[in-house]
Structure formats: C-alpha cells, structure tokens
Amino acid sequence: MPVGTLATVKGVSPAQLADTGAQMVLANTYHLHLQPGEGIVAEAGGLHRFMGWSGPLLTDSGGFQVFSLGAINRISDHGVVFRSPRDGRRIELTPERSMEIQMALGADVAMAFDQCPPYPATEADVAAASRRTHAWLERCLASHNRPDQALFGIVQGGCFPALRRESARVVASLGLPGIAVGGVSVGEPVEEMHRIVREVGPLLPEPIPHYLMGVGSLREMAVAVAEGFDLFDCVLPTRLGRHGSALVGGERWNLKNARFRHDHTPLDPSCPCPACRQHSRAYLHHLVRSEEMLGRTLLSLHNLTTLLRFTTAMARAIREGCFAEDFAPWDPASPAAHTW
C-alpha cells in the first residue's frame, strides 16, 4: 500500500497512482483529523470521493503518530491526551474516538487503536503497552459499528518473544477479518525484525490477511511474505523520490550524482513507468538538480512501480513455485528472473 498520508500520495495523481499497479492505499487518521478534519471528509461523501481514489483504502488508528509525533500530556488506560502540533489545542484520542474518526473517514479497512512502545523499551513497559492494546482492541470492537468497514486488530509485544506470542494469541482469538503486526520498523536492528516476523507469522490465523505495518523494503517484504504476510505500507518510495533517489536493481541511486549528467539511457530499461519509458537519466538528473516538481513526481512514480512490480513478481513466483526469501527477480541468475 503506497502511503497517502493527507489523502494524497505525495506528488502523484490518482490516475498516475493506478498506473503504477497500486491496488490499495493507506491514509493517516491522525493527520486527517488535524487537517482538514473528518467532518469535511464525511461531508464530501467519504475518503474515496474526497481524494478521487475508487480502489480500496485503509486508515491507521492514529496511535503510532500520537506516540511518535505528538507532544503527549497524558497516557492512561482511558486514552491519550496530546497537544496539536498545528495550533496547540488539546486533543484526546481514545479507542472510541479513533473508531468515530475512522468511521467518518469511511475507508474500507480501519485499524484498532493501539499503543506502540518505542525501541528500546523495558520488558515491563512493553508488557503494559500490550495489555493496554488488548483492552483497547475490545473497546474498538464494542464501538465500531460500520458494517461496510473491516476492523483489523494489531499484535504488539516489542522484541520479547513471550509477549509477542501472548499478543498474537489474544488478537487471533477475536475472529477479526484481518490482523496486523505493529511495533516493527521502529528503530530495532533489522535482524530483530526478521526474528519477530519469523516467530509471529506462523501464529496468525491462516485464512485472513496478515499486515506487517510500516515495512516496505524489498528484502524485508520477501522475508515476511515467506512467513505468510500479505499487506505492507511504507513511505519509502515517495520519500526517496522527493529526495532525488531511485530504486534500481535492488539498489538506491542518488540522481543528483554527477555520473548521470551525460547518461542518456533510461533509468531502468526493464521498467514500464513513465520516467523510464519517456525520459533519460540525464534528464532526471537535470530535473533533480534544478529542484523541478516533475523530477520528484517521475522518481516517485518509478519507485512505486518498482515496489509494486516486486510484490507482483513475488505473487507470480509463489504460484509458479520459484519464490525464495532472497528473492531478486531482476538478477538473470535467479530462477524467478522471468517474473520481472
């Protein structure tokens, strides 16, 4: 899922986004609550109409942003009180309030309000955050009453295997239509993330979608897909694009680099995106150097296309029995080269 924080995937129109192969988009409850406010979105007929995206949409719960961005005044079992970074006003977010806002936004999938502990944190603090997350999930379920919207629960537990197992057991027992693993990609070493994914993945109920939150690098997605994960979100493709970087053949290239100045070949000859079909590395280098808006848009489109080609190639490789954790379909030596 490309990330459309403020009801827009930055720099990319909905039609361009559809052409990258994107099927589902994530939007952020916290940011949309602050601006323009869920009332305006509901007035427009919901998030799909407001942003002009008819495909599936998912909103996060706002919890991650409150705990990572907000000037927090108080955390209690009731909820979180924080000051708006926009105008300093006092805002209280509780499980019930998060459901109210997400129901008003009207995405296809809403996420339960959870407490995502920072990394590193003590086992006692992570255990307390997990217990609170489970209690909040029950309150989310009790107050969510929009039948055309699915509610996914979130497994927490930090880097502690026993807490992860317990959280997976509690969340899996509730018969939800989808389940997410949160509290990863919060600064822990990448080997820790792999360990969590390998331990928790097999504990999740088989028939429902498994969503690994905040992860979208190629290697990490392949490791998670091998453990049965289906959904990912990541700001990386558009953030890299805005900063002049491109994902090519598993590497990150900085287009500002002087080596591209006289390079009139396509960015990635195997890529079907507009940046690669219609333009050269020298032109993209020039746009990035000149800080032209088009450069950011083209590189964002290329990076989104690359990630979505990768996930599509994984799906095809699974069907054809040639998927592996070290999946590198662009490598001619890989048995999955034909999927790229």
List contacts with Zn ion (CB under 5 A).
Answer: 271, 273, 275-276, 302
CB-CB neighbours of 78 under 10 Å: 13
Q: Is 33 exposed, middle or buried (0-12, 13-18, 19+ CB in 10 A)?
A: buried
Residue 297: which of 83, 71, 19, 7 has the closest Cα? Answer: 19
Partners of 91 in the β-ladder: 82
Q: State the minimum distance, in angstroms, from the CB of residue 331 to Zn ion.
A: 18
Residue 141 in tokens? 């379920």
Please identify, using beta-carbon distances, which residue of 184 and 271 lies nearer to Zn ion. Answer: 271
Closest by alpha carbon to 109, among 187, 167, 55?
Answer: 55
Nearer to Zn ion, 9 or 271 (CB): 271
Report the residue number, 19 or 125, with the smaller CB distance to Zn ion.
Answer: 19
Query: For residue 137, with 0-12 CB atoms within 10 Å meaning exposed, 13-18 middle and 19 or more buried, which class applies?
Result: buried
Q: State yes or no: is 77 an active-site residue.
A: no
Selection from 327, 317, 304 nearest residue 221 by Cα: 327
What is the C-alpha to C-alpha distance for residues 129 and 234, in angstroms, rounded to an integer? 24
DSSP run (H or E) holding 251: strand 251-254
**Least distance in angstroms from the C-beta of 305 to Zn ion:** 5
Min CB(212)–Zn ion separation in Å: 25
Helices 161-172 and 123-143 sit at what angle, rounded to 10 degrees?
Answer: 10
How would DSSP label each residue in 176-212? -S-EEE-S-SSS--HHHHHHHHHHHGGGS-TTS-EEE
Contacting residues for 89 by C-beta, under 8 A, at least 6 apart: 83
* Residue 142: CB minimum distance to Zn ion, A: 46
Which is closer to Zn ion, CB of 25 or CB of 271? Answer: 271
- Selected catalytic residue, list 233, 263, 326, 331: 233
- Out of 60, 77, 108, 125, which one is annotated catalytic? 60
Q: How far is the CB of 316 from Zn ion (least distance, A)?
A: 19
Q: Is 60 a residue of the active site? A: yes
- What is the smallest separation between the CB atom of 231 and Zn ion, expressed in angstroms? 23
- Kindly tell me which of 101 and 273 has the beta carbon lying closer to Zn ion: 273
Angstrom distance (rounded) from CA 302 to CA 189: 28
Cβ distance to Zn ion smaller for residue 169 or 277:
277
Active-site residue list: 60, 233
